């Protein structure tokens, strides 16, 4: 079993990205992992925008990264890249905050024109933070995510299967890594 930090990075109060992550969290939990959710929009804006590295909420967020074996990063595509909210948090973490960790990058967006934003924008930033492994990510179109009045989330066929597949690849990579760590002490 691994500890996973699941980070949603939309500033929206009704974020589809956050809903999608919570949906995947349930899948990862069912596979035996401990999943901790971090919604970046709940962190204090003054700390994020004022580079307050020592703010208790930022220190706590940093500790969650440190404790995690795996990190899911989910962001909406904004202006052809990841959200500024995500960058404002990553900039407050240590340079190598992802050292040794397995990372699953996910994005939601409004147009397939930016389907590669994970690879040309998000992945290089994550790679600079020292992860052991960035597993294949997935971009989901916003129109393919629907939330019913009772809160039930539905993902369009095709995208749903692809998401399940990248989540399972991430889970398998984590399983291999925790087994290796246990074996090598
Ligand atoms: C300020 C802003 C900029 C956006 N820029 C893009 C963009 O460049 N490319 C894209 O595909 N979608 C863009 N979108 C659409 C969002 O990425 C998309 O609706 C996403 O699913 C929103 O996620 P959320 O509900 O978690 O905030 C933008 C949305 C906003 C509000």
Whole-Å CA distances, 118 to 36, 80, 104, 135, 150: 22, 10, 10, 12, 31
pLDDT of residue 175: 84
Atom of ligand 1 nearest to the CA of 77: 17
Q: Kindly state the average pLDDT of the residues 129-141.
A: 98
Contact 19, 145 (CB under 8 A): yes
Q: Kindly state the average pLDDT of the residues 119-137.
A: 98
- 153 exposed, middle or buried (CB, 10 Å; 0-12, 13-18, 19+)? middle
What are the tens digits of pLDDT across the range 23-80? 999 999 999 999 999 999 999 999 999 999 999 999 999 999 999 999 999 999 999 9
- 68 exposed, middle or buried (CB, 10 Å; 0-12, 13-18, 19+)? buried
What are the φ/ψ torsions at residue 11 (nearest 5 degrees)? -75, -5
Average pLDDT, the chain: 95
- For residue 76, report the distance from its CA to the centre of ligand 1, in Å: 5
Q: Is 79 in the pocket of ligand 1 (CB under 6 A)?
A: yes
- For residue 39, report the distance from its CA to the centre of ligand 1, in Å: 17
pLDDT of residue 1: 87
- For residue 144, report the distance from its CA to the centre of ligand 1, in Å: 13
């Amino acid at each position: 079993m691994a500890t996973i930090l699941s980070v949603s990075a939309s500033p929206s109060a009704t974020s589809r990205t956050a809903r999608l992550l919570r949906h995947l969290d349930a899948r990862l939990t069912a596979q035996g992992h401990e999943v901790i959710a971090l919604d970046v929009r709940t962190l204090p804006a003054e700390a994020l925008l004022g580079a307050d590295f020592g703010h208790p909420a930022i220190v706590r967020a940093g500790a969650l990264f440190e404790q995690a074996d795996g990190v899911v990063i989910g962001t909406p595509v904004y202006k052809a890249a990841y959200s500024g909210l995500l960058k404002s948090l990553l900039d407050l973490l240590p340079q190598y905050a992802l050292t040794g960790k397995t990372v699953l990058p996910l994005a939601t967006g409004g147009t397939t024109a930016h389907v590669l934003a994970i690879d040309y924008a998000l992945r290089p930033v994550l790679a600079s933070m020292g992860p052991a492994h960035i597993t294949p990510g997935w971009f989901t179109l916003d129109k393919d995510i629907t939330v019913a009045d009772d809160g039930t989330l539905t993902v369009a066929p095709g995208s749903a299967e692809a998401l399940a597949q990248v989540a399972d690849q991430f889970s398998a990579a984590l399983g291999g890594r925790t087994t290796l760590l246990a074996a090598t002490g």
